[in-house]
Structure 1
Amino acid sequence: MIKRISIVGCGWLGMPLAKSLLEQGYHVLGSKRHSEELAELSAAGVEAYRLELDPQVESNNIAALLKSDLLIVNVPPGRKTNTAEFHIAQIANLLAAAKQQGPKKVLFVSSTSVYGPMQGVVDESSPRLPETTSGKALKQIEDDLLKDADLQASVLRFSGLVGGQRKPGRFLSGKTVSGPNSPINIIHRSDCIEIISQIIKRDCWGETFNASADLHPTKQSFYQLAAEQLGLPAPNFVDGAASNKVIANNKLKASLNFQFTYPDPMAWLRDNIQEAE
């Protein structure tokens, strides 16, 4: 039974996730990169530790941080280092430390960027052909983790993330954007947190899930309304390269009996644009 959960990466997603898990009765341990940020975690009730992956593990107490039943790895590839090898080494070093300390279960937060420019309906059986540095790193980490016989791991691939400070009206405002009729693939942070909670509750390991909202409005309709809602200049849409990629969430919904709080991105824009940061 999972009672203690370590979250490596307590930022935009990890911090509200930690609070949610605390409310559900779990003992939560979490990390931040800088010592001055630990007070925020402690104030929320999280057992807080400093952790930097450079790419070697640098921590004030890595043994204590990883003394748990489950490790949630929520560390996106960094823009500063900008090499796949660096991020792969970061996670490899973290997992090596985890094996020494205790958690046998791992949930790795990945991204649908591992599919690259795939077109049409994309599900978990679709080939992963990443083109970006971050996508290539995530693909390699997924492969290494899922074939590791010492760990029980699941991989969660999120589509574009929105909610809180991530207000999509700011993403493309005033920019010239091609492919106005391309479908978008996004997911709200609240749904991300609930999906993670359900994976834990259902003890769902050895799986890979795509996580994206049910509906896929066009890029033009979504980002135009998003900008208008914030009183910002709308993007300038021009004909050009278009995508018809649609991330399918059927497996997730069936396996977890999951219903999205925000299944319709357009409805979320209309009804929740003023949500708290």
Structure 2
Amino acid sequence: MKISIIGLGWLGEPLAHHLISQGHEVTGSTTSEEKHQQLTKEGIPNQILKFVPHPEGKQFNRLFKTDALIINIPPKRRHFPDTFHPEQIKYVKSLAIQSRVKKVIYTSATSVYPNLNRLMRESEKLDHNNTGNPALLDAENLLWKDRDYDLTVIRLGGLLGMDRIPGKYFSGKENVPGHPPVNYIHQSDAIRLITFILEKDIWNQTFNGVSPIHPSKKEVFLKNAQELGIAPPRSFDLGKKADWKEIDGTKIGEFGFRFIYENPLFFDYLL
């Protein structure tokens, strides 16, 4: 299969290596000349392409001459308004339609769900009045509307594992909410999940990509501290004031997918 990945970052780059190892013909995009050279040396064909939000780059139209397109551009909400990411996706979609791409995967995130202190499933009715991330919701809706391609949306949980250690981000901090359940997925399982959808030809679905077991943040942070030598948070908020959500990730299991890392207490990391 010819597969293009828009966004060869922390997830996209190892995904490309994995898909190549499975015999697929893979190309992708990056935003810098330095990364372009690095990826080329690693054997990943790639083009420089930025969505600002309109496309800028070199010979990027060849990315859209593909059997399947993986859109892996996280919204940068700290730096841009919520309207920016949907504009990016509008241009990606336009290029895909022009090139008659037939299969599209969009990596969304579980932040699209609101914190309502309960379980959240893919069937949750989301709109601008309740979403936790309007940029992602608008991008998803834009891709679903007026399309002539098959689409699957994967709402990934917190992407961790390898060099991303959750306890490190809260090390030494005060009043850290410890009671909320975590909604994490290991990098390896995220790669396997995307590959599974491509190879099993599962389309026109929305899936939550989240490990099925949900320990509390406190449990995860303290386990990281104990095993990896990271200073734990100085204190936890015992008042249970922080709102939370628990994401149900069982739907993909109905299609036969099995997680390697079911429990975030036992994620592997690289120090």
The TM-score by the shorter chain falls in which range?
over 0.9
Task: Report the equivalent of 2:245.
Answer: 245
Please give the alpha-carbon distance, in whole angstroms, between the structure 2 residues aligned to 1:109 and 1:226.
27
Aligned counterpart for 1:213 among listed residues 203, 211, 214: 211
Letter of the 1:248 counterpart: D
Letter of the 1:207 counterpart: Q
Q: Give a deviation string over 1:208-228, Cα, whole Å, max 9, x none.
A: 001111111111111122133
Deviation at 1:244, TM superposition (A): 5.1
Please give the alpha-carbon distance, in whole angstroms, between the structure 2 residues aligned to 1:80 and 1:247.
24
Deviation at 1:147, TM superposition (A): 2.4
Please give the alpha-carbon distance, in whole angstroms, between the structure 2 residues aligned to 1:118 and 1:146.
25
Aligned counterpart for 2:85 among listed residues 75, 87, 112: 87
Distance of aligned partners of 1:244 and 1:91 in 2 relative to their CA distance in 1, 3 Å threshold:
closer
TM-score normalised by length of structure 2: 0.93
TM-score normalised by length of structure 1: 0.91
Task: Report the equivalent of 1:112.
Answer: 110
Superposed counterparts of 1:11-50, under 5 Å: 11-50=9-48
Please give the alpha-carbon distance, in whole angstroms, between the structure 2 residues aligned to 1:245 and 1:137.
19
Unpaired runs of at least 5, structure 2 = none
Give the conservation status (yes or no) of the 8 Å contact 2:55–2:91. Answer: yes
Please give the alpha-carbon distance, in whole angstroms, between the structure 1 residues aligned to 2:173 and 2:187.
25
Identical residues among aligned pairs (%)? 36
Q: Give a deviation string over 1:104-128, Cα, whole Å, max 9, x none.
A: 2110000011112132111101133
Deviation at 1:243, TM superposition (A): 3.9
Please give the alpha-carbon distance, in whole angstroms, between the structure 2 residues aligned to 1:155 and 1:249.
13
Unpaired runs of at least 5, structure 1 = none
Please give the alpha-carbon distance, in whole angstroms, between the structure 1 residues aligned to 2:146 and 2:168.
40
1:69 aligned onto 2:67: yes
SS at match of 2:170: coil
Letter of the 1:249 counterpart: G
Deviation at 1:161, TM superposition (A): 1.1
Task: Report the equivalent of 1:190.
Answer: 188
Please give the alpha-carbon distance, in whole angstroms, between the structure 1 residues aligned to 2:164 and 2:175.
19
Deviation at 1:178, TM superposition (A): 4.3
Give the conservation status (yes or no) of the 8 Å contact 1:223–1:234. Answer: yes
Give the conservation status (yes or no) of the 8 Å contact 1:142–1:155. Answer: yes
Please give the alpha-carbon distance, in whole angstroms, between the structure 2 residues aligned to 1:110 and 1:242.
24
1:155 aligned onto 2:156: no
Give the aligned CA root-mean-square deviation in angstroms.
1.5
SS at match of 1:126: coil
1:96 aligned onto 2:94: yes
Deviation at 1:51, TM superposition (A): 0.3
Distance of aligned partners of 1:232 and 1:178 in 2 relative to their CA distance in 1, 3 Å threshold:
closer
Deviation at 1:179, TM superposition (A): 3.4
Deviation at 1:146, TM superposition (A): 1.5
Aligned counterpart for 2:223 among listed residues 225, 230, 235: 225
SS at match of 1:171: helix
Task: Report the equivalent of 1:174.
Answer: 172
Letter of the 2:236 counterpart: F
SS at match of 1:249: coil
SS at match of 2:83: helix
